[in-house]
């Protein structure tokens, strides 16, 4: 049997890795009998759930007011009558909103399900992709549990299209495939487009630069960032195993670069793959984490505290329910990956943190960090082994993806590894 275009046949991957029970992705919640169609069903659920919470708050406020009025002897009778009328009217109003939403958006969902399918090879609109990624960040675990088509399946994307992980599809998509791969893993609420420079001076396209300078073929992951970090880590571990097995060339080196949550998922994937004795960590030279909250995100902790505070009173508890509906992926950022500190295999771990202020010794530098992740959380970690960290001043969280200084440091680390 010959390989595509006469390329050298590669050694088979160990059979024990992909079949390991430990590496199997966690089972997804069973989808509903009729899969949700997409935006219409998502909107219907959102409106109905929000309406239910508003009704609960309304009832709590009204009950407190009427409780006071019915205790006054002179007006207790009229107040009780007014309460009965109020409850009947409000119940009818909320029921009308609920059933009206069910009818209108339910009909829209039927129409949406029966629209002609778009061409399978048509690249998705970038705006639509961004909206979908944001929805997955906020409610991705719920969307997956409902079987909603908006739930993103993890995969390698090129020009907005998912690429099948088989040799024929990879060979056709990457005709100039190299023996070195770099997989870019985006953060919460984003997709693979975030790695593309916006055209500002000094920005670097990391993928193209690594291709030109070191010969890495850049590959871009898209995933449902609302799922638990451990779930996405398991899925990434299996995807990378399948990718290296199907790649048209024998892969000599794999480089992983993760931004924010993407770095945590990559770390988790490394650990799960190592414990399951998968092959790909043996080919992985380095994992670079850009602005990843290894010890947790203060923004996520603030969200947890706010939710707990809202749940303390009957009146604000409905708001607490709304806040608590955020995805498990967001909740996981409160503590970070919570992973084994032992670095698997011989992977070099590199952590990059930054501050909004040019002066990293500024009193506010540690507190605000890059705007979303503190400097300490990005660079102080429990991982042992070949680990290095670096801090930069004057780089915001999203600017880490294209900053010239960050790329220069990644380049220096790769040179060190090559020469070492």
- Residue 34 resides in a domain: no
- Residue 5 resides in a domain: no
Of 7-21, 286-300, 324-338, 378-392, the one with minimum mean pLDDT is: 7-21
Domain co-membership, 253 together with 346: yes
Domain boundary among 54, 84, 114: 114
| Whole-angstrom distance, CA of residue 161 vs CA of residue 164 | 10
Q: Looking at per-residue confidence, does 244 or 313 come out higher?
A: 244
Domain co-membership, 159 together with 289: yes
- Residue 354 resides in a domain: yes
Domain co-membership, 64 together with 180: no
Q: In this structure, are strands 161-163 and 155-158 parallel, antiparallel, or unpaired?
A: antiparallel
- Residue 8 resides in a domain: no
Domain co-membership, 265 together with 155: yes
Confidence label for 154 from pLDDT (cuts 50, 70 and 90): very high
Tokens of 328: 């498990």
Tokens of 126: 């970038």
Domain co-membership, 178 together with 266: yes
Domain co-membership, 105 together with 142: no
Q: Which range marks the domain in which residue 94 is found?
A: 39-114
Residue 373 near residue 260, CB atoms below 8 Å = yes
Domain co-membership, 90 together with 184: no
Tell me the mean pLDDT in the region 203-215: 97
Residue 289 near residue 319, CB atoms below 8 Å = no
- Residue 235 resides in a domain: yes
Domain co-membership, 66 together with 201: no
Q: Looking at per-residue confidence, does 418 or 23 come out higher?
A: 418
B/e letters for 100-134, b = 16+ CB within 10 Å, e = fewer, are ebeeebeebbeebeeeeeeeeeeeeeeeebeebbb
Domain co-membership, 93 together with 183: no
Domain co-membership, 148 together with 202: yes
Confidence label for 318 from pLDDT (cuts 50, 70 and 90): low
- Residue 140 resides in a domain: yes
Q: Looking at per-residue confidence, does 148 or 327 come out higher?
A: 148
pLDDT at 330 over 60: yes
| Whole-angstrom distance, CA of residue 35 vs CA of residue 42 | 11
pLDDT at 74 over 90: no
Number of domains in the chain: 2
Choose among 244, 271, 268, 245: nearest CA to 255. Answer: 244
- Residue 130 resides in a domain: no
pLDDT at 182 over 50: yes
Greatest mean pLDDT range, 68-72, 115-119, 372-376, 392-396: 392-396
Mean pLDDT score across all residues of the chain: 77
| Collapsed DSSP state (helix, strand, coil) of residue 364 | coil
pLDDT at site 58: 63
pLDDT at site 3: 39
Tell me the mean pLDDT in the region 214-226: 96
pLDDT at 107 over 80: no
- Residue 10 resides in a domain: no
Q: What is the pLDDT of residues 258-275, one digit of tens each?
A: 999 999 999 999 999 988
Q: How many CA atoms lie within 13 A of 49 on its CB side?
A: 16
Domain co-membership, 95 together with 227: no
Domain co-membership, 90 together with 206: no
Q: Which of left, alpha, beta for 394 (phi over 0: left; psi -120 to 50: alpha)?
A: left
Choose among 221, 224, 222: nearest CA to 144. Answer: 224
Distances from the Cα of 387 to the Cα of 10, 305, 350, 403, angstroms: 31, 33, 6, 22
Q: What is the pLDDT of residues 345-372, one digit of tens each?
A: 689 999 999 999 999 888 788 778 899 8
Is pTM, for the whole model, over 0.85?
A: no
| CATH number, domain containing residue 246 | 3.40.50.1820
């Amino acid at each position: 049997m010959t390989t595509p275009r006469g390329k050298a046949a590669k050694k088979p991957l160990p059979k024990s890795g992909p079949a390991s029970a430990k590496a199997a992705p966690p089972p997804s919640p069973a989808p509903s009998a009729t899969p949700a169609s997409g935006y219409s069903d998502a909107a219907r659920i959102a409106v109905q759930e929000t309406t239910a919470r508003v009704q609960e708050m309304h009832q709590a406020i009204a009950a407190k007011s009427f409780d006071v009025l019915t205790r006054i002897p002179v007006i207790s009778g009229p107040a009780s009558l007014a309460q009965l009328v109020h409850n009947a009217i409000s119940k009818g109003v909320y029921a009308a909103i609920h059933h009206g939403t069910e009818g209108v958006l339910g009909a829209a969902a039927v129409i949406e399900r029966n629209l002609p399918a778009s061409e399978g090879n048509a690249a998705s609109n970038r705006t639509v992709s961004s909206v979908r990624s944001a929805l997955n960040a906020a409610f991705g675990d719920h969307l997956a549990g409902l079987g909603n088509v908006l739930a993103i399946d993890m995969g390698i994307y090129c020009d907005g299209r998912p690429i099948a992980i088989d040799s024929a599809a990879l060979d056709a998509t990457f005709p100039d495939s190299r023996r070195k791969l770099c997989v870019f893993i985006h953060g919460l609420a984003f997709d693979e487009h975030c790695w593309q420079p916006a055209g500002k001076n000094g920005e670097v396209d990391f993928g193209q630069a690594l291709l030109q300078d070191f010969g890495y073929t850049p590959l871009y992951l898209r995933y449902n960032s609302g799922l638990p970090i451990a779930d996405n880590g398991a899925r990434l571990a299996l995807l990378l195993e399948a990718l290296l097995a199907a790649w048209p060339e024998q892969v000599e080196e794999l480089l992983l670069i993760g931004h924010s949550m993407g770095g945590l998922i990559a770390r988790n994937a490394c650990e799960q793959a190592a414990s399951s004795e998968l092959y790909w960590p043996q080919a992985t030279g380095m994992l670079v984490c850009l602005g990843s909250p290894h010890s947790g995100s203060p923004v996520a902790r603030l969200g947890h505290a706010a939710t707990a505070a809202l749940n303390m009173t009957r009146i604000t508890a409905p708001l607490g329910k709304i806040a608590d509906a955020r995805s498990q992926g967001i909740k996981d950022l409160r503590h970070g990956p919570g992973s084994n500190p032992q670095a698997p295999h011989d992977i070099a771990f590199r952590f990059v943190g930054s501050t909004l202020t040019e002066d990293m010794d500024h009193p506010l530098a540690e507190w605000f960090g890059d705007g979303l992740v503190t400097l300490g959380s990005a660079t102080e970690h429990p991982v042992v082994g070949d680990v290095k960290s670096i801090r930069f001043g004057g780089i915001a969280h999203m600017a880490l993806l294209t900053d010239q200084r960050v790329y220069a440091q990644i380049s220096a680390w790769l040179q060190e590894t090559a020469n070492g």
